[in-house]
A = this chain, B = another copy of it.
C-alpha cells in the first residue's frame, strides 16, 4: 500500500468567502499551506486585513502579501475610478465592468513562481463558475488550460510530479460553499466580499459580490456572521 503524504501547497487567499473555504479544504487534506494574497490596487484594503485574519484562523505556515499594482493597466471598476454597479443581478452572460483584466492568470502565475521555487506542485484557488460574476478566468476550461501551461513552463517539465490547480468550490453553489466552509470550521465573520464598502467600512449590500454572498447564506439557511459582528 502506498500512502501519499501531502506536502506544501500554495493557497491564494483574497479575504473572500470562496478562497477561505478553498484554503480550509487544502488544510483539511493535510497540506502545509503557503498563503498568497495580492495587493493589486484594489480600491479598498479591508479585504487584505480579512485575508490576514483568515490565514491566521486556518493556520498557515507562511502568509505573503505580494504588491503588484494593476491600476497602471486600467480597465476595471475594481481598480479604476469608475463606479461599481449596484443592484443589478449577477449574470454569467456578459463580462461585467468589475472584471480585472487577466487577474487570475497573474495570480496563478505568481502562485506558480512560489510553488516552483518551493518544489511544491499543488495550488489552491477559490474560483467558482456556478454563482459567479461571469469572469472568464473563473471557468474550468481556463483553469485546466493554465494547469497545462504551468506544466510546460516550469521545472515540472523534468519532474514526475506535475502541477495541479485545485479548485474545491468550482462547481459548488454559493450555499454549498457556505455549508462546506461551516463543516470545516471556517469563521465567515473574518471574510469580506463587498466590492464597494461604505465610508464607515460596512458592506454596501448591493454590489454583485454582496448579492452573491447573501444568496449563499440564505441558501445555506444560516445568518452571515459578518453582518452579526458589524
Contact = CB atoms under 8 A, between A and B. Distances in A.
A164 B99 CA distance: 21
A207 to B, nearest CB: 20
A184 interface: no
A149 B105 contact: yes
A101 B116 contact: yes
A90 to B, nearest CB: 17
B150 A105 contact: yes
A72 interface: yes
Interface in A68-120: 68-70, 72-76, 94-95, 99-106, 109-110, 112-114, 116-118
A98 to B, nearest CB: 13
A155 B99 contact: yes
Contact of A113 (B95, B103, B112, B158): B103
Taken together, the copies of this chain in the complex come to 2
Given A105-B112, A149-B149, 12 more contacts: A64-B72, A67-B67, A74-B117, A76-B117, A101-B113, A102-B112, A102-B153, A105-B109, A105-B153, A106-B106, A142-B149, A146-B153
A110 to B, nearest CB: 7
Contact of A117 (B101, B145, B154): B101
Interface string A118-154: 1000000000000000001101011001101110111
Give the interface SS of chain A, mostly helix, strand, loop or mixed: helix
Nearest to A107: B109
A157 interface: yes
A34 to B, nearest CB: 10
A75 B76 CA distance: 33
Contact of A102 (B70, B76, B109, B136): B109
A139 B109 CA distance: 17
A188 to B, nearest CB: 28
Given A109-B106, A117-B74, A149-B146, A154 B101 contact: yes
15 contacts: A67-B67, A67-B69, A70-B113, A75-B116, A75-B117, A75-B118, A99-B155, A102-B113, A102-B150, A104-B153, A105-B153, A136-B154, A145-B148, A145-B152, A145-B153
